[in-house]
């Protein structure tokens, strides 16, 4: 997508909506991550508005964050408990924070917001350098199998059809580059609003190799936060890497 930069996807309007967005599996995610973190500290890459970091910190674990979007971090700061999370504004591929962590994690497919394989590999390497000896890196991401079922490598889906607004999700896939270009489009009397997002996806096995390059190994892989088995029907995976 020409002229796209990731921070475009997370401006003020999205950040305001995001602050209240819940997927419904947050308790299981926090339960799982809390067990991995032990006494901490933990670091969330792409912490956003704190959907996961805030309830994790509420369990008494120190949680730091990295995010590229000042708008998302402003919403985190405006939420009770947000002031306790130390956030560095920057690119999470760099892991631009001092110290080491018992747990570093990146959720909701956000590893794929790093748009090149090099950036994703760099992320794994930097994460490895910021883990304690017994520390782990947890990644939650989709399994790209659904892309094989697309017709002509694209789709347009009606997300909402209301009397005063239509919301569409429009997506194109390029298998050669492993890129997904997507836009959430709102049509209403107020005009047309676009929310573009681009991702470079990877299969779980590619992530495992990135981990190996960084000196880490796959320790656990689940089909979800409730430790569902990972198998050929899994749409998502929760993978845990360590030394
Ligand atoms: C889908 S949101 C997820 C936020 C949070 N992790 C959650 O689960 O609610 C993606 C977040 O990634 C951040 N982001 C995207 N690319 C980034 C990058 N290269 N470095 C740091 N943050 C990035 C965005 O600003 C946004 O806050």
Alpha-carbon distances, residue 98 vs 52, 129, 160 (angstroms) = 21, 10, 44
Where b means 16+ CB within 10 Å and e means fewer, 133-146 reads: eebbbbbbbbbbee
Is residue 124 pLDDT above 90, yes or no? yes
Task: Report CA-CA distances (Å) from 219 to 36, 72, 94, 185, 187.
Answer: 12, 32, 23, 40, 46
113 lines ligand 1 (CB under 6 A): yes
The answer to whether the CB of 112 is under 6 A from ligand 1 is: no
Task: Using the predicted structure, report yes or no on whether residue 118 has a pLDDT greater than 90.
Answer: yes
Residues whose CB is less than 8 angstroms from the CB of residue 119 and which lie 6 or more positions away in sequence, other chains included: 93
pLDDT for 2 beyond 90: no
Any idea which residue has 């088995």 for tokens? 229
Q: Give the distance (Å) from ligand 1 centre to CA of residue 7.
A: 9
pLDDT class for 175, splitting at 50, 70, 90? very high
> What's the CA gap between 158 and 217, in Å, rounded?
40
Question: How confident is residue 104, by pLDDT bands cut at 50, 70 and 90?
Answer: very high
- Sheet strands side by side (includes 101-106): 86-89, 63-67, 42-45, 101-106, 131-142, 236-242, 217-222
Question: Going by CA atoms, what residue is nearest to atom 4 of ligand 1?
Answer: 48
How many other C-beta atoms are found inside a 10 Å radius of the C-beta of residue 217? 12
Q: Which residues pair with 103 in a beta bridge?
A: 42, 136
User: What pairs with residue 66 in β-bridges?
Assistant: 45, 88
Is 65 near ligand 1, meaning CB less than 6 Å away? no
Q: What is the pTM of this model?
A: 0.95
């Amino acid at each position: 997508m020409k002229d796209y930069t990731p921070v475009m996807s997370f401006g003020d309007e999205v950040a305001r909506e995001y602050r209240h967005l819940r997927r419904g599996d947050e308790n299981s995610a926090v339960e799982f991550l809390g067990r991995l973190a032990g006494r901490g500290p933990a670091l969330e890459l792409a912490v956003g508005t704190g959907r996961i970091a805030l309830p994790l910190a509420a369990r008494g674990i120190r949680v730091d964050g990295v995010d590229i979007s000042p708008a998302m971090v402003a919403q985190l700061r405006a939420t009770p408990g947000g002031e306790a999370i130390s956030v560095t504004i920057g690119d999470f591929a760099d892991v631009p924070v001092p110290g080491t962590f018992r747990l570093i994690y990146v959720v909701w497919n956000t590893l794929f917001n790093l748009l090149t394989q090099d950036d994703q590999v760099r992320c794994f390497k930097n994460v490895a350098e910021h883990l304690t000896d017994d520390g782990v890196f947890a990644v939650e991401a989709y399994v790209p199998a659904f892309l094989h079922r697309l017709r002509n490598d694209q789709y347009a889906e009606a997300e909402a059809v209301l009397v005063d607004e239509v919301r569409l999700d429009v997506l194109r896939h390029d298998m050669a580059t492993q890129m997904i270009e997507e836009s959430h489009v709102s049509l209403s009397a107020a005009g047309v609003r676009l929310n573009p997002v681009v991702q470079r996806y990877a299969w779980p096995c590619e992530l495992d190799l990135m981990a190996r390059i960084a000196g880490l190994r796959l320790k656990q892989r689940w089909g979800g936060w409730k430790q569902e088995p990972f198998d050929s029907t899994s749409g998502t995976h929760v993978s845990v890497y360590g030394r």
